[in-house]
Structure 1
Amino acid sequence: MGQYHVIANLDKRLGYSPRSTGDFLKLTEFGHAGGAMCALVALLDGDWHGERVAIVGDYAETGDLTAEATLRAGLDPAHLYAAINHPAWLRETHGISSDWRNVGWLARKVVAGSGLGRFDRQEWTVRDYDGTVRTSHGYRWELTPQPDSRQRVVVNLDRAEKIDPAAFGDDRSPGAFAVANEVGGTLAALAVLLAVSSTGGGRGGGDFRGSSPLVGSWGGHRIGLLDPADTAGYVDISEAVRGALAAAGEGIYRETGDGTIQRGDPWADHPWAHLDRTA
């Protein structure tokens, strides 16, 4: 078993599971591409801009969030995954009730509303060990980049840090970098920075295995998207994050003669074979 995750807005006390956007639940499964991270970019480009966001797993521990972030969440981070996905179990087993809401519907809605994709609901029957037959469901996504003329970098407003999509081989348009076509892009960088329960080399299967102190360092902070022209006072940590991804085998990059960063596929026998675009 690996560590399963939710994406959480601590200020609004809203969260969603990658499952609700057609993804698997481990960080290195949904973090590189898919509906969950596409939805997060779309949300940060809208109503969630400048709010405290974190990616929290079911192996989370007390202390994974700062005291201020925990206060905003109104809940020990060790119980946050259950509060979003299994509130009845949390109440019955631990006597803990919360006002957190699961908004998988919102994640799907914002992707569709931005023109970035659609989700098809699929249903099937499951027979439990006791013979009970029940209906389950899931979603399959179809995503399409929608680049426009806007240029954005991802920022941590509390730490005055930023990551530049161009430094990961992406276009700076949110409608472009929200839909990844190779691993190791802006989405993966953001996922690793927000993953507060994957610090120290990870805690479960599918966690990010790098030991960089950057892992989880943005979790619980105010995150948003800004025009690069408005970030002159921000520290660009793109190169350091890119190095952490490469060291962990989660990204591979090269620089062209004009300084453009290109991204290949670190999991392929020929990482650059299918490269058909530059940043």
Structure 2
Amino acid sequence: MGQYYKLVNFDKKEFVEPWPLNCGAKLTEWSYNRAPMACALMNLVAGRWKGDRVYVVGDYTDLENTSVNWYEACEEISNEVGVDAIYSYVTANFKDISSEVDAEFHNWKRIYNHYTKQYIDLSKDPIEWVWWDEEIKEAVVSSIAPLGLLLAMGNGRGGGDYHGRNADLVGSWCNFTKYIEISNDECIPIGYVEFTPNFTEHNPLIPYTKAEEMTKSKIGELDYEKNH
């Protein structure tokens, strides 16, 4: 069976569902850098959810496997709410703010983890595909959005979960959510190390350095189609 996910803030007791944002609910259906669900997560963590315990919770999330990256955070939350079925508990008891969120793409540049002193340069994410955005009349590069995977609980338990490159990193930032910052600041703090999760379903991966070449190719394809 497919596993469905929602964005959850356990401090503000709020959640965001994918369907009102016109996204599929499975992790690999919306974990792309221009998908509204992925954009909502970035914008919330950059704004009013900054510094809170924020997770991407699947409906198969439980405490069955103690070796998963997100076990400690899941155990803390389960003890707090008194149930193992976190997804169902959130649906019944937290506020659905799906209709209120900013789900637009704002092209954030970096994600910082101030606990591990790491940063992700989002411009270096591997390329998944290139498509033509009719609204802005440009060829656009899509990559897997790393934050949703790094904060995911339950991956590997259901259909539509992420099984691509570096799947072992999924959920690995669940213990550090309070220390995550989304920023466009050009000044990287001293002592911080670049972290490249390189999430992609391509093997071998398509590096970000191919972006210009691939966008030109896409435009060429469209020009050819118009003229033939």
Same fold (TM over 0.5): yes
**Matched letter for residue 149 of structure 2:** V
Misfit runs of 4+, over 4 Å: none
CA contact (8 A) 1:15 1:84 kept: yes
Instruction: Say if 1:21 and 1:224 are closer, same or farther in 2 by CA, change over 3 A.
Output: same
Quick one: structure 1 residues 250 and 30, their matched pair in 2 at CA, closer, same or farther if it must change by over 3 Å? farther
CA distance in 2, matches of 1:263, 1:215: 29
CA separation in 1, counterparts of 2:188 and 2:73? 29
Partners of 1:275 and 1:84 in 2: how far apart?
Answer: 45
Query: What are structure 1's unaligned runs of at least 5 residues?
Result: 88-97, 117-144, 171-179, 266-270
Return the alpha-carbon distance in structure 2 between the equivalents of residues 194 and 205 of structure 1.
Answer: 18
TM-score using structure 1 length:
0.60
Structure 2 counterpart of 1:83: 89
What is the match of residue 224 of structure 1? 181
SS for the counterpart of 2:53 is strand
1:157 alignment partner AA = H
Q: Any gaps of 5 or more consecutive residues in structure 2?
A: 128-138, 221-228
For 1:70, the aligned partner's letter is E
Instruction: Tell me the TM-score normalised to structure 2 length.
Output: 0.71
Match of 1:254 among 197, 207, 214: 207
Aligned equivalent of 1:94: none
Equivalent residue, structure 1, for 2:36: 35
1:196–1:216 contact (8 Å) kept in structure 2? yes
Structure 2 Cα separation of the partners of residues 215 and 249 of structure 1: 17
Q: Give RMSD over aligned pairs.
A: 3.4
2:6 match: secondary structure: strand
Q: How do 1:1-279 residues align onto structure 2 when only pairs under 5 Å count?
A: 1-32=1-32, 33-62=34-63, 64-67=70-73, 70-71=76-77, 74-75=80-81, 78-85=84-91, 87=92, 98=93, 100-107=94-101, 110-111=102-103, 116=104, 145=105, 152-168=109-125, 181-185=140-144, 187=145, 189-198=146-155, 202-210=156-164, 212-220=167-175, 221-222=177-178, 223-226=180-183, 227-238=185-196, 241-242=197-198, 245-246=199-200, 248-249=201-202, 252-254=205-207, 256=209, 262=211, 273-274=217-218
